[in-house]
Structure 1
Amino acid sequence: MGELKGLKLAQRHGKSRVRVARVWKDGDGKHHFAEWSVNISLLSDCIPAYITGDNSDIVATDIEKHSPTVYAKAKECSEQLSAEDFAIVLAKHFTSYYQQVTAAIVNIVEKPWERISIKGQQHDHGFKLGSERHTTEVMVDKSGILRMTSGIEGLSILKTTQSGFEGFIRDKYTMLPETRERMMATEVTASWRYSFESLSSLPLKPLYFTERYMDVKEVLLNTFFGPSKEGVYSPSVQATLYEMAKAVLGRFPDISFIQLKMPNLHFLPVNLPSKDNPVIVKFDDDVYLPTDEPHGTIQATLSRIRSKM
């Protein structure tokens, strides 16, 4: 922060979209793989660069410096680690190595490379690209204070029944019919904050955050779909979103809040004329017109209420 004649300046600078891939090899010949897109933002005491043009306190973010730093740190991580842990490694480096840097924010998006199976057996070094992406943002300051969020982007899910929408406000412009039988589809974006507030409070278990990411995704999916045979009825996207968020907080005490964005991707029922019946062929929950524009936007954040006692 800086002040100049009654003004306050907040600033950061860094490097975006540094791409790195890392392979780890087990002693038994099994390979593990991760591909990350890394964004780095540095908060530093370089106010003179803004107000007087003095660049002497700027940590340059040229590609010759930050990209090799990311690659060097990836090389130093000889054991497989999560995107969250790699973000912490980078943030700790920049806050400890440079006197001017007061805090570092590292954002990572992990590509969804998944191990393939051949004839029911997992391949030692074969992977395919999935869909949803694992995200994280970590902020670390010089004192070791930590703020960490993780999330999911692009999780497209759909169920062909067990969904409805009725009892909503109607006016002269409302065209949407009420129904207890419709298709429900959305693309989930989720972000959750961990309750760890310092580097010293982090769990020591290897790949802890990778496992937590997979577990949160499983809870979200299980809540959305319900049991395999009968499913679970959804009276609205809003109600399902709330149940999904509540299930995550109920299952994981180390998550303090979760935000979910779930646009309502529409599949519109289609009634068709036919040769034998030129008037109409009645829709029977079987033929739809897919459309994602325009779509409903639904999002909410559910958080724990901290006791003041």
Structure 2
Amino acid sequence: MEYVIVDKEYGKAGVKLLFASKVGKKHSIKELEVETSLTLASEKDYKYGDNSDIIATDSQKNTVYVLAKQFGVESLEKFGIILANHFITKYPWVLRARVALSQTPWKRIQDPEGVEHNHAFFNSPSSTRIAEVIMDRTRVPKVRSGIRGLTVIKTTQSAFVNFVSDEYRTLPDAEDRIFSTIVTADWSYANISNCFGYSWISLYCTVESTIIDVFAGPAYNGVYSPSVQNTQYEAQKSIMKKIPQISSVKISMPNRHYFPVDFTRFNIPEVQGEGAGQVLMPVDKPSGMITSNLARSALTSKL
């Protein structure tokens, strides 16, 4: 009986590093976790136990540290491209290099007047930035960037009505509801002709701010959301309008539920009616999950 290895890769996960730039008085830091994975041309390591082509995962870990020291860490995407290109260039038997990266969100401390500190930071996990670079022997990188854990909430301008009504439905129409979600977003770049010429950080900030702007709307009036699906689609569309290099945007948004507490059960006159405000109970599970991947059509891609 013949057996075929359909796919294979190996590498080092959980490589953590803090890159500190101390040029001048104003220092900067980037804390990363990196995963490297290589696909080799040979299968002899799997089939025969021949390790002569294996670049040890410990060597891959050391490579991450050495290249960070040599080239610095300007952005996840750029550092990922440097790593992937290194593995493809140095080892001719490496068919594909995949590098996945995530960044710990450190922000610069400010004094009460808003002046930024030169060398002190605080951890602000409002969201986590990720990136993935895949490069084969064509040397053309496939770059995917993303956001994890972007949690948002608004207290009005959200509804969910006129959905299927049958014998299984118990959820009433909601003309005005709390809308909260945790955004997971991934976007892919196409036609990357000058990888190192991109301002990757600026592109990431544009995507993140676009998602937030579409969700929230103008400061005083907000924007109406008839469903999570519609808000998701409008965010994806707006991102690709602003950044022509992006070919597709995948977003997942769980519906973080806040259900009103039933005060009719309490025989207390002061809590009947409007009261001082609404009291709602967070329910984390089960939750709705809305996911879609918006891509440019073939016609749009040619323009």
How high is the TM-score relative to the length of structure 2?
0.92
What is the DSSP-based 3-state SS (H/G/I as helix, E as strand, rest coil) of the residue aligned with 1:90? Answer: helix
The offset of 1:218, in angstroms, is 0.5
Quote the offset at 1:108 in angstroms: 0.1
Look up the match of 2:231.
240
Shift of 1:186: 0.2
2:68 is the counterpart of 1:74:
yes
The letter of the residue matching 1:220 is I
2:16 is the alignment partner of 1:19: yes
1:112 aligns with 2:105: yes
Partners in 1 of 2:268 and 2:136 — Cα distance? Answer: 73
Structure 2: state its 5+ residue gaps: none
Q: Per-residue deviation at 1:124? A: 0.9
How is 1:176-255 mapped onto 2 (pairs within 5 angstroms)? 176-197=171-192, 200-205=193-198, 208-255=199-246
**Percent sequence identity over aligned pairs:** 36
CA contact (8 A) 1:164 1:234 kept: yes
**Alpha-carbon distance in structure 2 between the residues aligned to 1:305 and 1:176:** 36
- Verify: 1:9 aligned to 2:13, yes or no: no
Q: CA deviation at 1:196?
A: 3.3
Residue 149 (structure 1) aligned with residue 144 (structure 2): yes
CA positional deviation for 1:142 = 2.6
Q: Give 1:258's aligned residue.
A: 249
Q: Among 82, 86, 98, which residue is 2:79 paired with?
A: 86
Give the number of equivalent residue pairs. 297
Decide which moves more: 37-46 or 8-17. 8-17
User: By percentage of residues, which structure has more helix?
Assistant: 2
Alpha-carbon shift at residue 57 of structure 1 (Å) = 1.7
TM-aligned CA deviation for residue 158 of structure 1: 0.3
Tell whether the 8 Å contact from 2:78 to 2:196 is kept in structure 1 after alignment.
Answer: no
- Deviations along 1:180-209, one digit per CA (max 9) or x if unpaired, are 110000000000001135xx532525xx10
1:134–1:184: structure 2 CA closer, same or farther, 3 Å change rule? same
Matches within 5 A, 1:99-178: 99-119=92-112, 120-131=114-125, 132-178=127-173
Write the distance in 1 (CA, Å) between the matches of 2:9 and 2:42.
9
Contact 1:196-1:202 at 8 Å conserved across structures? no
Aligned equivalents of 1:196, 1:93: Cα separation in 2: 21
Structure 1 unmatched ranges of 5 or more: none
The structure-2 alpha-carbon separation of the partners of 1:274 and 1:7, relative to structure 1 and needing over 3 Å to count, comes to closer
